[in-house]
Amino acid sequence: MNIRTMLRFPLIMSIILLISFTLSACGGTNDAKKGNESQGAGKEQGVKTQSANQPNKVTKASNNESVISEQPTKNADIRKIQVHFPDAALADLRQRILATRWPDKETVSDQSQGVPLETIQRVAKYWANNYDWRKVEARLNSLPQYMMNIDGLDIHYIQVKSKHPNAMPLLIMHGWPGSIIEQLKLIDPLTNPTAYGGKASDAFDVVIPSMPGYGFSEKPATTGWGPEHIAKTWAKLMNRLGYSKYVAQGGDWGALIADMMAVQKAPGLIGIHTNMPGVVPKDIDIAVQSQTKNPIPSGLSSEERRTVKQLRFFYKHSGYAFLMGTRPQTLTALEDSPVGLAAFMIDHDAKSLELISRAFAGKRTGLTRDDVLDNITLFWLTKTAVSASRLYWEAKEKNISFFAVKGVQLPTGVSVFPDEMYEAPKSWSQKAYPKLIHYNKLPKGGHFAAWEQPRYLAEEIRATFRTLR
């Protein structure tokens, strides 16, 4: 070692020691931070676990998820809840909406390429600048909301009892992209019929659960939570609530699950009502889904041929169902972009998209802008876009068809709304439901009948079940 190197050696060593100390300190800080984060996560999970069994606990999963406060009831299996999302979650939502990266405008003049750019930009503008989530949050908290653990999952439901004596218990089931938000307008007309021109004898006690993976119900961590399982879960829910005799109503997934509850002979279930009936003969259902591979049987009436045409159109344009049925986990972007989620959810079917587009264009329709955004915002805040989508995967794994005949033998009411994805012919309805006690075609309304035309649907429910009281 020469003299020059020796003179430099102390300086080099000092630099090395300084770097080493700095790295050590940073590593220690990061390790401590990780340890604290791990401890914090464990504590939060502990609160979440304990809240199911201890009174007045608050469940908080993270800053951007819901805070659910729980209180015990006289029934140890049931906890009464209130929900409140932190301001930070709403601020984050608004920031993300404003930061949206927009695609180019569609190259067509209609909706054949999906949600038009102008429509989704109107949705985003209103969502970011005018929409108030706190209104619907207050509405939810004004209703009796509960949690019950069934088959290892916490199930959220609303239960509103009528002031009228001898009210009939009614289970109401939502679908996708719906939620309990979709059913809120039905509650008062059904529980308080005298205020809507009905009779006290038409009153119902209403139970509206959130499907697993939707809204405030727990998200399944394993497979096996398809419509057949949910049908059994809803039967358990009604049984545990003490209902030995009840009826059920559903649209979309709710219609399919109502059919399955009937086929499973759910204890206490005495009748169902559906506004999206499963009436399509199996050979026709297979032929329609294959589009061109299988011929449609001959001898159909003009009404039945029209239904086949409507079904062909739906199957050809239901890309969302194919994606959720085959690759739900790939829909990660729906958990990351609120505007992406909104575009995906409002593109359910052609007539519904037209209806929603008119609402955001300032035209009066059966749905308001707030109606639409209440539902989408619930999906966003509860981070349930992907967990809700898995229901389609579960059904596809078992080759379950929405529209095919299921073999229901219970008394059934069918309501046909003109803008539904398909209009069920009476001829098929009578064969699919041998105990058809009510069939009616309504003058207006579409797929989201409970949301869009609640008075029509409420009267249809009353008319169906009058003879079963």
Distance CA 394, CA 155 (A): 19
Least reliable range by pLDDT among 285-289, 409-413, 415-419? 285-289
Least reliable range by pLDDT among 112-116, 171-175, 312-316, 423-427? 312-316
Helix 338-346 and helix 369-382, axial crossing angle in degrees, nearest 10 = 120
Q: Is 90 exceeded by the pLDDT of residue 223? A: yes
Give the model's pLDDT for residue 61: 45
User: To which H or E segment does residue 13 belong?
Assistant: helix 3-50
Using only C-alpha atoms, what is the Rg of the chain?
Answer: 26
Distance CA 449, CA 224 (A): 29
Give the model's pLDDT for residue 442: 98
What one-character-per-residue DSSP string does 20-33 give?
Answer: HHHHHHHHHHHHHH
Q: What is the pLDDT of residues 17-47, one digit of tens each?
A: 343 434 344 444 444 333 333 333 333 333 3
Q: Which of 273, 371, 447, 456 is catalytic?
A: 447
Distance CA 287, CA 210 (A): 33
Largest Cα separation within the chain, whole Å, is 109
Tell me whether residue 214 is one of the annotated catalytic residues. Answer: no
What's the predicted TM-score (pTM) here? Answer: 0.86
Structure tokens at 462: 């009353």
Strand, coil or helix: 103: coil
Tell me whether residue 447 is one of the annotated catalytic residues. Answer: yes
Q: What is the pLDDT of residues 74-130, one digit of tens each?
A: 988 999 999 999 999 999 999 999 999 999 999 999 999 999 999 999 999 999 999
Structure tokens at 382: 């509860």
Q: What is the pLDDT of residues 159-197, one digit of tens each?
A: 999 999 999 999 999 999 999 999 999 999 999 999 998
Mean pLDDT of all residues in the chain?
88
Q: Which of 205, 252, 347, 419 is catalytic?
A: 252
Helix 338-346 and helix 117-129, axial crossing angle in degrees, nearest 10 = 130
Residue 252's alpha-carbon distances to 178, 193, 249, in angstroms, are 9, 25, 11
Neighbours of 80 (CB within 10 A): 14
Q: Quote the strand ranges of 336-449, DSSP E.
A: 412-416, 436-441
Residue 311 and residue 80 in contact, taking contact as beta carbons nearer than 8 Å: no
Distance CA 161, CA 167 (A): 8
Give the model's pLDDT for residue 37: 36
The residue assigned the tokens 């029209």 is 306
Instruction: State the architecture of 117-279+318-468 in CATH terms.
Output: 3-Layer(aba) Sandwich (3.40)
Q: Is 60 exceeded by the pLDDT of residue 455? A: yes
Residue 59 and residue 156 in contact, taking contact as beta carbons nearer than 8 Å: no
3-state helix/strand/coil string of 191-224? HCHHHHCCCHHHCEEEEEECCCCCCCCCCCCCCC
Distance CA 235, CA 267 (A): 7
**For the chain, domain boundaries:** 117-279+318-468
3-state helix/strand/coil string of 34-98? HHHHHHHHHHHHHHHHHCCCCCCCEEECCCCCCEEEEEECCCCCEEEEEEECCHHHHHHHHHHHH
Tell me whether residue 77 is one of the annotated catalytic residues. Answer: no
Question: At residue 395, what is the residue type?
Answer: A
Distance CA 159, CA 175 (A): 18
Distance CA 296, CA 310 (A): 13
Strand, coil or helix: 9: helix
